[in-house]
């Protein structure tokens, strides 16, 4: 890949991330201080940076607790930051969730709860429902992550195994006013799906959760199945008086990130085309569709009916999934990019980046990777077969061997996947 193409693609990614940073998007959306206390709680990969932004701009005393992923913490003064495991919950997350519930109990009508939520909050708020253990939740989470279920389906199950998600946190806050400040990592930006909606009504049911497990053939532990079948203490539904008066403010979305990247591309003389901010599906299937669009642009760009003309960049976001069948080191963005490489088959004049805006692709240490027209040829020279690596779900290993991983460390924000395919020339 040429240096200018590498620089442009990485600049697009960084512009996308910067546009949705808590320091930029949170301060203008803070509510007015209440007459009573202000308690801050929250969870997610952006939670610590969000707490920092609240402290920097809040007028009046604050207290509270937020939980974020290991390595995603940030220094704060009044709001305690706890780190826990993601995407599979651990004991630290369970203890933090219990402390958050205790923190909000006993508040009055003149008190305010600021709830800071972002992607990752669902795994980090690990409060098992009565009769379930942390080990039960861990087993179900692991199975869901390998199943290919989308985020709404996974969070439907998580909400019905939890004592805090699916509106239950807001119910515990009553009668205090609850304002939720959210950075969305879910397609469609549905507040009931972001971090499993701890402060908003839940439209899903125990029966829906059972249907998800059945759809993906997940053999959950017996206590989980018994809990879901018993269907006791359903999550708060729309119209629940305990959640009346709650407010949700969406601070940042995938579309905000894509727009910022598009502006950088336009300034560089490259026409941006946003394909969508909520693209879901198997990463390799999504890659095949993106490859088809890129080929169309490269072949017919500028002709009537063509979506764009080179030089252009195809930008998209959302959350793909990976059904894990191999034993490689993956990450859905690396999987997408490796599948894109196979589909493009060394097509000249096309380069790409795919990376997670939180800086972590799945459970690996990279945000994503870069793809060049010669990536397959360079891999072949090293004895690496792209199709075999894709079958093994080893996108990480493929791009690590080429030196083309994108490594940023935690960004402390999260609007999910970012993809950009640069088409320089016809061919």
Successive 10-residue mean pLDDT values, the chain, 427 residues:
93 98 98 97 98 96 97 96 96 98 97 97 96 97 92 96 98 97 94 97 97 97 97 95 95 98 98 96 97 94 85 96 88 97 96 97 91 97 97 96 97 96 84
* In 97-176, beta strands by DSSP E: 112-118
- What CATH number should be reported for the domain holding residue 274? 3.40.1480.10
Q: What is the pLDDT of residue 425?
A: 79
Q: Are 90 and 126 in contact (CB under 8 A)?
A: yes
Q: What is the DSSP string of 251-317?
A: EE-HHHHHHHHHHHHHHTT-EEEEEEEEEEEEHHHHHHHHHHHHHHHHHHTTSTT-S--SSEEEEEE
pTM score = 0.92
What is the bridge-based pairing of β-strands 112-118 and 38-43?
parallel
Which of 252, 271, 293 delimits the end of a domain? 252
Q: What is the pLDDT of residue 291?
A: 97
Q: Do 127 and 75 share a structural domain?
A: yes
63 to 40, 80, 81, 110: CA distances (angstroms)? 6, 8, 11, 15
Q: What is the pLDDT of residue 304?
A: 86
Which of 252, 277, 301 delimits the end of a domain? 252
CA atoms of 127 and 173, how far apart (whole Å): 16
Q: Which residues contact 261 (CB under 8 A, 6 or more apart)?
A: 12, 13, 15, 16, 272, 315, 418, 420
Q: Do 135 and 247 share a structural domain?
A: yes
Q: Are 355 and 367 in contact (CB under 8 A)?
A: yes
Q: Do 284 and 175 share a structural domain?
A: no
Q: Do 176 and 293 share a structural domain?
A: no
CA atoms of 187 and 195, how far apart (whole Å): 13
Q: Do 155 and 10 share a structural domain?
A: no
Q: What is the pLDDT of residue 129?
A: 97
Q: Do 343 and 235 share a structural domain?
A: no
CA atoms of 66 and 145, how far apart (whole Å): 24
**By C-alpha distance, which of 223, 192, 190 is closest to 205?**
192
State residue 68 phi and psi, 5-degree precision. Answer: -135, 175
Q: Which residues contact 231 (CB under 8 A, 6 or more apart)?
A: 205, 206, 207
Q: What is the pLDDT of residue 427?
A: 57
Q: Which domain holds residue 31?
A: 23-252
CA atoms of 186 and 6, how far apart (whole Å): 28
Which of 232, 252, 272 delimits the end of a domain? 252
Q: Do 337 and 313 share a structural domain?
A: yes
DSSP 316: E
Number of domains, the chain: 2
Q: Do 189 and 297 share a structural domain?
A: no
DSSP 78: S
Q: Do 166 and 54 share a structural domain?
A: yes
Q: Do 259 and 248 share a structural domain?
A: no
- What CATH number should be reported for the domain holding residue 173? 3.40.50.10180
User: Which value, in Å, is the radius of gyration of the alpha carbons in the chain?
Assistant: 22
Q: Is the dihedral angle over the CA atoms 75, 21, 37, 81 positive or is it negative?
A: negative
264 CB burial (10 A radius; 0-12, 13-18, 19+)? buried
3-state helix, strand, coil in the chain (%, to 5): 40, 20, 40
Q: Do 384 and 346 share a structural domain?
A: yes
Q: Do 298 and 229 share a structural domain?
A: no
């Amino acid at each position: 890949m040429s240096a200018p193409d590498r620089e442009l693609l990485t600049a697009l990614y960084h512009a996308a991330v910067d546009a949705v940073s808590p320091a930029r998007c949170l301060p203008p959306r803070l509510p007015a201080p209440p007459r009573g206390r202000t308690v801050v709680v929250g969870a997610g990969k952006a939670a610590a940076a969000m707490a920092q932004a609240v402290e920097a701009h809040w007028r009046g005393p604050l207290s509270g607790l937020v939980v974020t992923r290991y390595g995603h913490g940030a220094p704060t003064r009044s709001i305690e930051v706890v780190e826990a495991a993601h995407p599979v919950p651990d004991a630290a997350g369970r203890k933090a969730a219990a402390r958050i519930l205790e923190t909000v109990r006993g508040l009055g009508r003149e008190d305010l709860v600021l709830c800071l939520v972002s992607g990752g909050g669902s795994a980090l708020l690990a409060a098992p429902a009565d009769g379930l253990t942390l080990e039960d939740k861990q087993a179900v989470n692991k199975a869901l992550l390998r199943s290919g279920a989308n985020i709404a389906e996974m969070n439907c199950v998580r909400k019905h195994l939890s004592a805090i998600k699916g509106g239950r946190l807001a119910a515990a806050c009553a009668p205090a006013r609850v304002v939720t400040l959210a950075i969305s990592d879910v397609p469609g930006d549905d507040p009931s799906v972001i971090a499993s909606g701890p402060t908003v009504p839940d439209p899903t049911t125990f029966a829906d959760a059972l249907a998800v497990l059945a759809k993906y053939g997940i053999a959950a532990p017996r206590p989980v199945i018994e809990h879901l079948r018993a269907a006791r203490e359903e999550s708060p539904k729309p119209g629940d008086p305990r959640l009346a008066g709650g407010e949700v403010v969406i601070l940042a979305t995938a579309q905000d990130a894509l727009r910022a990247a598009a502006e950088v591309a336009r300034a560089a003389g490259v026409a941006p085309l946003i394909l969508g901010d909520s693209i879901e599906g198997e990463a390799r299937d999504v890659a095949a569709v993106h490859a088809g669009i890129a080929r169309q642009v490269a072949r017919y760009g500028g002709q009537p009916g063509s979506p764009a003309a080179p030089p252009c960049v195809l930008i998209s976001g959302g959350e793909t999934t990976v059904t894990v069948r191999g034993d490689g080191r993956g990450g859905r963005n690396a999987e997408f990019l490796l599948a894109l490489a196979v589909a493009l088959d060394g097509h000249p004049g096309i380069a790409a980046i795919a990376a997670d805006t939180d800086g972590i692709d799945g459970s690996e240490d990279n945000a994503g990777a870069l793809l060049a027209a010669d990536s397959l040829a360079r891999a072949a020279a090293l004895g690496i077969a792209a199709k075999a690596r894709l079958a093994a779900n080893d996108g990480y290993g493929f791009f690590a061997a080429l030196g083309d991983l994108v490594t940023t460390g935690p960004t402390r924000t999260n609007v999910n996947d970012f993809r950009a395919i640069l088409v320089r020339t016809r061919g």
